[in-house]
Amino acid sequence: MIWLRSLAFAAYFYLLSTLTAFLMLPTLIGPRRWAIWCLRRWSRAVLFGLRVLCDVRVEMRGLEHVGHGAAFIAAKHQCMLDTIVPFVFMDDGCLVLKKELTRIPFYGWYAVRAGMIVVDREAHSAALRKLVADSRHRMAEQRQLLIYPEGHRMDPGEAPDYKPGVAALYRDLNLPCVPMATNSGTHWPAHGFLRRPGLVVFECLEPIPPGLKRAPFMAELQNRIETASDALRESGIWAGGPSPPCEAVEGARHRTDLRPPRPPGPPPG
């Protein structure tokens, strides 16, 4: 049954993505916020299909730590779902992406138009300088910047591998860093197409205040993210098990709109 439901979702996902890419092409010549709007609608539709076809529900916790306006988030990365959900819960999200992803037809076009930060990992120190400079500009635009410190997907429970880019941003931006944990890889594995029923949780943790030295910051960030991610993975919501009833997560912002109300003000540019 899981195999059939996963196959149905795969068909839904690729058909949805193809139709969205073509129907929303006019947004590529409009303001940046049009591309953000398109990505948000696509993300919500993905989560809808994931819930209906695979009985995988998504819950977002700790959004009060992100708030509105400029924010700096460092997130655990276990699967593709991690790059979909942020567009739903962030007001004006900006992901740090590797350059290879921008070469994907349509996805790369929308990512570039939406003002994502693109990193050429082969450029080494030059890439780090560009990452910092681009991040300053995004913060000036009052966006929510999300980086995956490990730089690639990691299987649940795999030994962490945090890269120095996040420390450079923490030092230069002088903002609190919001760690984000998840158990997404338990239900949407990094490899293969099986989608296992259950509850995927993205949890924004207590921010790390600015001003720490590099080594203490990296140790604290890794400890918080890994400890919370392991706790989510081991919390009893196991792969292949049924989703809990909605009442079990009521009040925890498990809806697919996931975002707290935005205060009055002009829309993002």
The enclosing H or E element of 6 equals helix 2-23
pLDDT value of position 175:
94
- The token pair at 130 is 């560009």
pLDDT value of position 240:
41
Check residue 44 and give left, alpha or beta (phi > 0: left; psi -120 to 50: alpha). alpha
pLDDT tens for the chain, 269 residues: list them: 899 999 999 999 999 999 998 888 888 888 888 889 988 999 999 999 999 999 999 999 999 999 888 999 999 999 999 999 999 999 899 999 888 887 777 778 888 888 999 988 777 788 888 999 999 999 999 999 999 999 888 888 888 989 989 999 999 999 999 999 999 999 999 888 899 999 999 999 999 999 999 999 999 999 999 999 999 988 745 444 444 433 333 333 334 344 444 544 544 44
pLDDT value of position 232:
93
- The token pair at 89 is 């819960």
- The token pair at 212 is 């720490």
**Distance (Å, rounded) from C-alpha 111 to C-alpha 250?**
33
pLDDT value of position 255:
40
Alpha helices in the chain (DSSP H): 2-23, 32-54, 86-89, 107-113, 125-140, 165-173, 184-187, 214-233
pLDDT value of position 54:
96
Query: For the chain, what are the domain ranges?
Result: 2-249
DSSP 8-state code for residue 208: B
Return the CATH number of 2-249, one of 2.60.40, 1.10.3860, 3.30.2320, 3.40.1130. Answer: 3.40.1130
Q: Give pTM, 2 decimals.
A: 0.84
- Cβ atoms within 10 Å, residue 26: 9
pLDDT value of position 205:
97
